[in-house]
Amino acid sequence: MADVRWAILGRPPHRILIVEDERDIAGLIKHALERTGEAKADIVGSGDAALKAMTERPPDLVILDLNLPVLSGMEVCRHLRARSDLRHVPVIMLTARTSEDDRVSGLELGADDYITKPFSLRELAARVRAVLRRAAARDAHLATGTYKGAHLVADFDAVAVAVDGAAIRLTRREFELLRYLVQNKNRVISRDRLLERVWGYDRVIETRSVDVHVGRLRTKLRAAGRQIETVVGLGYRFVDQQPTQL
């Protein structure tokens, strides 16, 4: 039902990963977040399962309990922030502890917000919305402007791309693909993430067709095409290459 509503509005629900070993709590959070149809939540019960799930498909936000078996929430957060493909995923930490130390070290490790147990589900949902809004504002900010590299000049506002001074004609999809890669320059982006961000939630498309589009984009970009690197087994990376200063 929720999916249908969002399909009509043309906007996919946010994908949220709940990392919590207490199943009852995880279930309540999932229900609270999915109630309005704005989000779809998955649950994992341990830190290592969380890292595995995020590697396969980076979520839009993680709700991370600190007290987890094997790998603690703090360790999960430290791993996330050290990885170029997951560094930007917003994290809200859940902690049963009220000590200031935990909160401070959580925020220092790069958590976007924290909430102390016991908490109200309404408050948690409000925090989630606020963090997602901030992340969207950050993305939107990145989406504008001009990229100037050694060969490539891309004006994302004017929808104009040139390589070595010659204008390049791109399809809308190729342009969006370039925009997303450039926005995330020097970061490895998985095929799944490209599918989600460039193609939207249209799962009819297979990950293989991402390769086809990247191939075409590379060819069209001539000398700048080399800046789109294939990272075997992971995805693609746009490598920043600045003009040499004479």
What is the contact surface with Ca ion in residues (CB under 5 A)?
A: 21-22, 65, 67
The residue (of 21 and 34) whose beta carbon lies closer to Ca ion is: 21
The residue (of 10 and 118) whose beta carbon lies closer to Ca ion is: 118
Per-residue exposure over 108-124, b if at least 16 CB sit within 10 Å of its own CB, e if not: ebbbbbbbeeeeeeeeb
CB 101 to Ca ion: min, Å? 18
CB 105 to Ca ion: min, Å? 17
CB 19 to Ca ion: min, Å? 9
Beta bridge partners of 62: 17, 91
The residue (of 21 and 229) whose beta carbon lies closer to Ca ion is: 21
Write the single-letter amino acid at 12: P
The residue (of 71 and 162) whose beta carbon lies closer to Ca ion is: 71
**Residue for token digits 């009509």?**
8
The residue (of 118 and 233) whose beta carbon lies closer to Ca ion is: 118
Cis peptide before 118 (omega within 30 of 0): yes
Contacts of 18 (CB under 8 A, 6+ apart): 26, 29, 30, 33, 41, 42, 43, 44, 63
- The answer to whether the CB of 41 falls within 8 A of the CB of 128 is no
CB 97 to Ca ion: min, Å? 11
CB 132 to Ca ion: min, Å? 23
